[in-house]
């Protein structure tokens, strides 16, 4: 074996080891956050030692996996259940850790080749594929559901109609969406990081794309951090610490990002019926728990509590701040109107992402001898979905206005690489 071949093999082994470390760190972080969040939510009390598999199912759903609920209640009864929700705190944790692991070997380099970059991403994708398959095959469980109504419980035992629910993870869909999620994380990491190298053909796009992408990521992260601080303050002053920790560790972005769109004027529709409860401020739960489908926007929230106007104030501060950050990281030669265009083009996909991942849908019910709605807290429905086109239109408008403002405010800011004064005669 030649020295060159041995060196190439050593480099390849080192690359696989780095890819394995990145994937393992991402999965471990997601498992820890999901486990702590579910523990705070009381999931450790589930029967049949279901907690570890619930954790794995939560991680699978966090990366876009499909977890299907199923149920039965003997020959004379049946259960129906469905759940569509992404635990975005777990998703965000995994994305940040995986992105850091992906970018770490690429730091301190100006340019990279397409083949080298694709090879590094492919190593991570192969190991991620193996992890997804193992996750999907393991995340499945069936257990009995306790019935609060004593009479119904006795009838269920007599008729062999004790309700049981379970969940399984769809392997093909989990692998497909999990790989798409990984691809999105890696591409976004390259777009956001100023120090990450790009292939030579793509360098001309970095001045227009990277500052806007970075600004959007900062906007989303700051909104999550601000919501988390508010949640902790409320928990300390009003109690419900365990419930607040569960919200922070499982679904803080599920609350923060839709709230940002509401502050920008967007409208969501939803309803809460039956035993379901949302780990959200009492105001939102009150608006949603009505006989008909409820409208959630600044108008309906401020009708019940005038302090909801702070959502508008937060949006009016955060979005222009993101615009200023984008303009400050852009070359000084970029005109103000182009800053407005760049921010609008970036803010619309960000709001679209919020509308896609922020939707919630859940239902559960038990029917006995064809009779549904048996009482005893055995049926319910919960959903929350956005008005798509109005949200995207408002995002474009906010992007244009805030981009103009941010571009104007950033004019006096000294950019990296700028020359402060023109050289005088005889000066090089």
DSSP secondary structure, 290-354, as one string: SSS-EEESHHHHHHH-GGGGHHHHHHHHHHHHHHHHHHHTS-TTS-HHHHHHHHHHHHHHHHHHH
Say if strands 66-72 and 164-170 run parallel, antiparallel, or are unpaired.
Answer: antiparallel
Alpha-carbon distance of 40 to 365, in angstroms, equals 25
> How confident is the model over 143-149, as a mean pLDDT?
55
Check if the beta carbon of residue 63 is closer than 8 Å to that of residue 94. Answer: yes
DSSP secondary structure, 242-307, as one string: HHHHHHHHHHHHHHHHHHHHHHTT--EEEEEETT---SS-HHHHHHH-SSS-EEESHHHHHHH-GG
Residue 273, pLDDT above cutoff 70: yes
pTM of the predicted protein model? 0.84
Residue 49's region, left for phi above 0, alpha for psi from -120 to 50, else beta, is left
pLDDT for 326 = 94
pLDDT digits (tens, 9 = 90+) for 169-180: 888 999 999 999
Contact residues for 117 (Cβ-Cβ < 8 A; gap 6+): 106, 197, 199
Bigger pLDDT: 216 or 333? Answer: 216
Residue 127, pLDDT above cutoff 70: yes
Give me the chain's average pLDDT, please. 80
DSSP secondary structure, 386-405, as one string: E-HHHHHHHHHHHHHHHHHH
Residue 160, pLDDT above cutoff 60: no
Alpha-carbon distance of 224 to 215, in angstroms, equals 14
Alpha-carbon distance of 386 to 267, in angstroms, equals 6
pLDDT for 40 = 87
Helix (H) or strand (E) holding 87: none
Neighbours of 61 (CB within 10 A): 24
């Amino acid at each position: 074996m030649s020295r060159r071949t041995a060196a190439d093999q050593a480099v390849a082994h080192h690359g696989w080891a780095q890819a394995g470390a990145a994937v393992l760190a991402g999965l471990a972080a997601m498992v820890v956050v999901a486990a702590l969040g579910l523990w705070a939510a009381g999931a450790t009390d589930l029967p049949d030692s279901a907690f570890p598999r619930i954790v794995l199912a939560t991680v699978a759903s966090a990366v876009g996996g499909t977890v299907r609920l199923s149920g039965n209640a003997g020959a004379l009864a049946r259960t129906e259940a469905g759940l569509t929700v992404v635990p975005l705190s777990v998703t965000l944790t995994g994305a940040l850790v995986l992105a850091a692991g992906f970018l770490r070997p690429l730091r301190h380099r100006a340019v990279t080749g397409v083949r080298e970059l694709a090879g590094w991403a492919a190593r991570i994708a192969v190991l991620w594929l193996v992890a997804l398959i193992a996750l999907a095959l393991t995340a499945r469980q069936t257990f009995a559901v306790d019935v609060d109504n004593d009479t119904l419980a006795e009838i269920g035992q007599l008729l062999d109609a004790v309700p049981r629910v379970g969940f399984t993870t769809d392997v093909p869909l989990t692998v497909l969406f999990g790989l798409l999620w990984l691809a999105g994380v890696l591409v976004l990491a390259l777009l956001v990081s100023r120090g990450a190298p790009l292939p030579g053909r793509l360098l001309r796009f970095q001045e227009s794309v990277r500052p806007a992408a970075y600004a959007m990521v900062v906007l989303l992260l700051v909104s999550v951090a601000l919501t988390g601080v508010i949640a902790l303050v409320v928990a300390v002053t009003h109690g419900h610490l365990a419930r607040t920790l569960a919200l922070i560790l499982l679904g803080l972005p599920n609350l923060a990002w839709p709230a940002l769109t509401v502050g920008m004027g967007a409208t969501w529709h939803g309803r809460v019926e039956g035993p379901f409860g949302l780990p959200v401020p009492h105001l939102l739960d009150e608006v949603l728990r009505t006989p008909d489908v409820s409208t959630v926007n600044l108008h309906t929230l401020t009708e019940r509590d005038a302090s909801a106007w702070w959502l508008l104030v937060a949006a009016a501060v955060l979005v222009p701040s993101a615009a200023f950050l984008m303009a400050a990281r852009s070359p000084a030669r970029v005109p103000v109107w182009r800053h407005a265009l760049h921010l609008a083009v970036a803010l619309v996909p960000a709001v679209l992402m919020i509308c896609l991942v922020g939707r919630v849908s859940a239902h559960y019910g038990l029917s006995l001898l064809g009779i549904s709605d048996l009482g005893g807290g055995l049926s319910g429905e919960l959903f929350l979905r956005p008005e798509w086109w109005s949200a995207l239109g408002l995002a474009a408008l906010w992007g244009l206005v805030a981009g103009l403002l941010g571009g104007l405010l950033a004019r006096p800011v000294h950019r990296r690489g700028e020359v402060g004064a023109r050289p005088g005669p005889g000066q090089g």
